[in-house]
Chain A
Amino acid sequence: MSTYTGRREFLKRMAQGAGVATTGGLLWSFLLGQQRHARANMLRPPGALNEPDFAATCIKCGQCVQACPYGTLSLSPSGAEVPIGTPSFSPRDVPCYMCVDIPCMQACPTGALEHDLERIEDARMGVATIDHESCLSWQGLRCEICYRECPVRNDAITVENRPRRTSGHALFVPVVHASHCTGCGICEYVCPTEVAAIHVLPPELVQGKIGDHYLLSNDAEVDADGGPSASPAGDHDAVPGLEYLNEGER
């Protein structure tokens, strides 16, 4: 623990030093060699490009880290799960408090954090996911701290009431809606269980995807131009199944 903290502090200080900020790119590019393909479980600052582009664009200057008023961000040390020297945060330690003016993004000199993010509520740093079995609220207790503390409460997290016939006390279960979850991680930070029952992970690790060919009937309107084409395209030489139909046993 202390070694880890010490090293992290050392790197952070290095990264935050003015000299390093201008020449550091060389050092980091070198170190990055072996680390490039590390899997990112940690969360990126708001506005971050998709992971490959971010890794290529971030010059590890640490200016976003310096700009964060809450000490949320840190530069990854060597051996971490994200490429060394790039900014990330671990919400159980310090979540993103969703500054209205997004100072970390404003500080980014390269566009690794895209400056066209206008509202912090539109950031998609990660997605919260609940372990129902250790969530107090899902077990019937009146907790719902994640819901009450969620900065986009009622959009990103809602509470659904469900009857609980065994006791006559309704459940108040928190439900995450990825379409509004910014991934700030405040829910994970405030969760009162010993190990958080709600975790924020990079969206690609959490989110599934329904096939394009099927639309849930309660999903708004269907795009008239965007649906799949009416019949399979192609010339008659390659009619699917034709070869099978025409061979033998006639």
Chain B
Amino acid sequence: MSITRRDFMRDAVAAATAAAVGVPLTSAEQALAKEAESGWRWDKGVCRFCGVGCGIQIATKEGRIVATKGDPDAPVNRGLNCVKGYFNGRIMYGEDRLTEPLMRMKDGRFDKKADFVPVSWDRAFDEMERQAKKVLDEKGPTGLAIMGSGQYTVPEGYAAVKLMKAGFRSNTIDPNARHCMASAVVGFMQVFGIDEPAGNYDDIEEADTFVLWGANMAECHPILWSRIANRRISSDAADVKIVNITTFTNMSSDLADLELVIKPSADLAIQNYIAREIIARDAVDKEFVESHCVFATGPYDIGYGMRADSSFAYDAEKDIQAKELEVKLDRFEAAGQRREPGEVVKQTNRGSAGKHWTISFEDFKKAVEPYTLEFVTELAKGDPEETVESFREKLEALADFYINRDRNLVSFWTMGFNQHQRGSWVNEQAYMNHLLVGKQARPGNGAFSLTGQPSACGTAREVGTFGHRLPSDMVVANPAHRAKSEKIWKLPSKAINPKPGSHINKIMRDLEDGTVKFAWVQVNNPFQATANANHWITAAREMDNFIVCSDVYPSVSAKVADLILPAAMIFEKWGLYGNAERRTQAWREQVPPPGDARSDVWQMLEFAKRFTIDEVWGEQKVPGLKAEGYEDGKLPDIRQAAREMGYKPDSTLYEVLFANDANRKVKWPDPVAKDHENHTAALLGDGWFPEKALFDEYTQFGRGHGHDLADFDVYYRDDVRGLRWPVVDGKETQWRFNAKYDPYVKAPDFEFYGKALKALPQGDLDKVTNPEKSGLAGKAKIFFRPYAAPVEQPDENFDLWLSTGRVLEHWHTGTMTRRVPQLHRAVPTAQAFVHPDDAAARNLKRNDVVWLESRRGKIKAVLETHGRNRMVRGMVFVPFFDEGVFVNKLTLDATCPLSKETDFKKCAVKVYKA
């Protein structure tokens, strides 16, 4: 029997298939193909990758994603995506997707030295329970850790925080977002007393001057960059300018009108130069500053966030590690700190780096005085081939942009600022200059911190999945914040541990020294992404500990774990993300997870079933705990108080924290689902809708406090493409602190109403002179911060700077994008970008395989002298996505002492032929 083309094409599915493979179709056949496509179920979603937060539309059919497209109604991206976003529909379908729990087993028992074998979920949870209870008994609650993520959905992050902080009474939970924007957070909290930007992406269409400080937006925020590009080339105002301040020429330089190639850490000095110019040219917006700002500073001798002792350092590391305790000032540092060059300064404020006090404007003026054009040119010029005159002219032009009253100026930054040994300082300095000239919290004017991860803002920060935080900007160290959280969470008083938990770098150090013995990795790959990785890999594999890794593909973190739990990916679960402009966006579960993979929410809730409050709410030891109302080193027994609240001793953490009476009223199924499934609710099987219940519970924290979110269902409405908080009376907020736009502002024009850190003593540039604290309600702080030299710099042995970062094609550690064959094919490996002269001086040429070696390790990479990043002499760049070119084996785990965010941009290496 023969089938004609006509017969065959009558089948709409066949027509669609033919269309998909490129068989030419008649118009009638095209109509049939379209009919088949209409059988697809379309629904809105959010891109899985960066913090830009592009909206997408997802088509599914028979449990598979068949297509995606940029959402034309999404205000962020208007129907476009970058090439990573183009592959959203493919990231779940890599061949090595993890679909069943795997545990290191020998003879039917867990064995840390054995190979992985498949186990059941029950067997996996049995072992987790056994190991966690053993550690609780031996170490107390802080021996348990979660390494979380800025890629958590809001409900996931909330479940994790609640499980740890309310359930286990451990604050040892910290996200990879610590590596990404902790310095930005400190900047916001110190300057404004409330986290997250005043402005939003609409600033792009309102501004005429864009200054990029350590942000390669062309590659790392591609869709925002195309908005800036559009503004640059099509503005009728015509005079739109872009400035790129960077340590080497990157792809953002291609569109820049002014490029400043600077030395690492010289941004600190350049900011002070701009401030000095603003004052010298009498350009301070006096009315704005007097009404809305105060001046402040803090200690300079704050260390570099390294360990204080060398007991775990390799021999080669000890010289740098010793600088944690005392530093010999170079002449540039000395000038800014009003000391003598060569003076050795003990780092006495290592433990109190964040303290600060108000100073007078006269003191501020005196502090920036040394940062003259000549001084800063000498300090900052990064390209040895550039002339002094040329660089000096550029600095002046940069200051002109800030000072020119007719210019609307937005500063953007990401990791160049945040991953910085003085990251919090340089963030504060960004606001310093915007506040001095009154270019803040106005449309088209503002300092805007971009984020790297899709929900670094929405989850890690707003939900508070950090060691020191609670939801909505609250902190565990504050008794009132603990009391409020205990009330919302229906916990006995003193349930929450007042001692801030370890930051993520410290969790790694805790694994190395045995302080933490149970760690659960969720939605990230910290063993590849943490600096100085050789230490932590050894700690994971050689120390007596138990590491659980929930993951979707076999990552480095999965490889060094003891138990691997297969996780559901973004479109296989319900979720919400919050992007860098405070926009909360939601999606439904589109397709079921493969095999036995399950959502992180389900994993945490199932684990919570394994613990009764009787087991975890007794007296607990917490080494180092010192807080008012608490016995040293101990959390009190709260079991009796729990009983009085109506909890039974054998109530599980699942029943108390999650499936409690209030949450069970949020029923599954729910009309908001339309015809979408929820595998988490189905597997729990007790009739509630965990993601919605958790989200709505979480919104109680922020409402009325400037963090207002809408109800869960609002974000799922067909006509909503995310809303920027605070959402008050159903209306989103574009510019915070500005009376025209922000319902929280009670003053006639501006009010920096954040409440944190708003009572300060007074002092001069070196110390507190009047310890009595006075209130600064409604004001922002203009900080003076001096230049500080990087703790490790090139020397005769390790003679080149190493910086790390991203490429457009890959996301983070490449666990998803490297599974997309087309992206892998485009950029299969991380190259070492080197200046051609540096290569020639070492007898190296393009495409040679070379060794890169630091004090901490060595790796091989292919040399690139003519790549997209055009290096200056003396500087090497290696992207971090590639586990085969494991650059974090080289990087230094020094951090900003305030934010504890690692500086991935500055360490010293040598390069030689492999």
Residues of A within 8 A of B (CB): 97, 99-100, 136, 140-145, 148-149, 151, 153, 159, 161-172, 189-193, 195
Contact = CB atoms under 8 A, between A and B. Distances in A.
A149 B251 CA distance: 12
Given A140-B80, A149-B827, A192-B822, A170 B846 contact: no
Nearest to A158: B254
Interface string B86-106: 110000000000000000000
Contact of B80 (A141, A149, A189): A141
B825 A163 contact: no
Q: Choose among A141, A145, A193 the residue with the greatest number of B CB atoms under 10 Å from its CB.
A: A141
Interface stretch (B37-45, B223-231, B425-433, B588-596): B223-231
Nearest to B235: A163
Interface string B781-825: 000000000000000000000000001110000000000001101
B81 A189 contact: no
17 contacts: A99-B847, A141-B82, A142-B81, A142-B82, A143-B83, A148-B808, A153-B868, A159-B254, A161-B233, A164-B230, A168-B227, A169-B78, A170-B227, A170-B229, A170-B230, A192-B86, A192-B87
B205 interface: yes
Contact of B808 (A142, A153, A163, A169): A142
A142 B223 contact: yes
A163 B234 contact: yes
Contacts of A195: 22
Interface string B224-250: 011101111110000000000000000
A136 B223 contact: no
Nearest to B74: A167
Contact of A161 (B82, B255, B826, B845): B255
Give the interface size class of chain B: 35 or more
Contacts of A143: 82-83, 86
A142 B80 contact: yes
Contacts, number: 98
Contacts of B585: none
Contact of B234 (A100, A140, A148, A170): A170
B118 interface: no
Nearest to B22: A195
A97 B828 CA distance: 14
The 5 closest A-B pairs by CB, nearest first: A163-B234, A167-B78, A142-B222, A170-B229, A170-B230
A136 B226 CA distance: 14
A87 B294 CA distance: 74
A142 B83 contact: yes
Given A141-B82, A161-B232, A164-B230, 8 more contacts: A143-B86, A144-B808, A145-B83, A161-B255, A170-B226, A170-B229, A192-B825, A195-B22
A168 B81 contact: no
B874 interface: no
Contacts of B233: 161-163, 170
Contacts of B87: 192
Contact of B868 (A148, A162, A164, A166): A148
B826 A149 contact: yes
A92 to B, nearest CB: 10
A121 to B, nearest CB: 10
B234 A136 contact: no
B77 interface: yes
Interface string B860-904: 000000101000000000000000000000000000000000000
Contacts of A136: 83, 86
B802 to A, nearest CB: 21
Interface string B245-272: 0000001001100000000000000000
Nearest to B87: A192
A100 B863 CA distance: 13
A120 to B, nearest CB: 10
A203 B896 CA distance: 55
A151 B232 CA distance: 28
Contacts of B234: 163, 165, 170
Nearest to A145: B826
A123 to B, nearest CB: 15
A97 B230 contact: no
B825 A190 contact: yes
A91 to B, nearest CB: 12
Interface string B180-194: 000000000000000
Contacts of B86: 136, 141, 143, 192
